[in-house]
Chains A and B, each alone.
Chain A
Amino acid sequence: MKTTLKLLTLSVALFAFANISFGQNVTADAAARIITPIKIQQDQALEFGDIISGTNVVTIAPDGSRTATDPTLLLTLAAGGRTPQAAGFSVKGEKNLSYTVNIDASATLTRAGGGGTMTINNFQHNSTGTLDASGEDTFNVGADLTVGANQASGVYEGTYTVTVAYE
């Protein structure tokens, strides 16, 4: 009887060990990751600068350079001028994660005080699509501006939507 009891004890101990081992394996698979929400902000606005009225398509590249189908109508005023620049954005989120950038297909710029609109489209960006080790990234956006033949002079303003999302 004593021998039988000892065997039984050993048997139970083995079962118990197997039990603990199995439980640990399953627990290790149950990991979860909380992701920092991705956020975007505009650091600087897209600016096409000063342009003389006349049929034209003016392009601001993501690097900020300005070109046009009729470059003779591009103006850089010595005083009181507006400096062409690409838009700048900052993205913050989870470090090392990839993200996508989506920009409206087109947008409308409206003349201050009314009297005309112009269309911007063909948005381009230079995002790497990856947040760095600090969870940050920056990128620039450019676009095409179409100027009409008899476009009224004045300041034109408008907005467009830029969306970032985890990939």
Chain B
Amino acid sequence: MTEENFKKTSVKNKLTFFLIFGLLFTGLSLEYTYAIDPDPVNGSSVQASATAELIEALSVTEVTQLNFGRFTSGTSGGTIVVANTATGTVNVTGTVVTVNDGSPCSALFRALGQPNAALTIALPAAGTVNLNHIGSNNTMNIASFTVSDDTPTLNAYGEAIVYVGATLTVPNTDIAKGIYSGIYNITFTYQ
């Protein structure tokens, strides 16, 4: 081999070497490119948590009806006030006189719902409720309602009781004698 031929052969060998070396690197490069191709297996997952609390719907029962008892209006009428307490103490004004055995009492409501939840109670607006005479169109107006606790909290068993009292206005006219009755709405809601 002449010196010239030797050099040429050497250069060819080097060229071949670099070519192979270059291909190897290209191969590596392709491999790393493949690693970030879309592939859910190579992604990251997390077990996320979700929670909800279902609350028992509120139910309210009228255990005892509000009762103003038995009375006479007298010459000029007046008012009968039933206190919002368990005993439902009665106070009268004007010429109204109570009569025994009328069994006046406050109303008792029992609410059932989510234990330890707080409630709000809404009473009828003043003067919006009438008691109607059975047998005539005579009425008596309930001037105002009161409740023993307008923001009660249900106990550990999900129960709360409240007493409702009111003030009945007895007209000063000679209204029909007999039984008067009416209905009113009292609203309980979760706070």
Contact = CB atoms under 8 A, between A and B. Distances in A.
Interface of A: 8, 11-12, 15-16, 19, 22-23, 26-27, 29-35, 37-42, 45-54, 58, 75, 77-80, 82, 87, 89, 91, 94, 97, 99-100, 102, 107, 109, 111, 118, 120, 141, 143, 145, 147, 151-167
A80 to B, nearest CB: 6
Contact of A120 (B35, B50, B114): B50
Contacts of B7: 8, 11-12, 15
The B contact surface, by secondary structure, is: mixed
Contact of A30 (B26, B36, B42, B54): B26
Contact of A39 (B39, B44, B117): B44
Contacts, number: 198
B43 interface: yes
A165 B43 contact: yes
B8 A154 contact: no
B46 interface: yes
Interface residues on B, range: 35 or more
Contacts of A37: 42, 44
B49 interface: yes
Contacts of B56: 52-53, 153
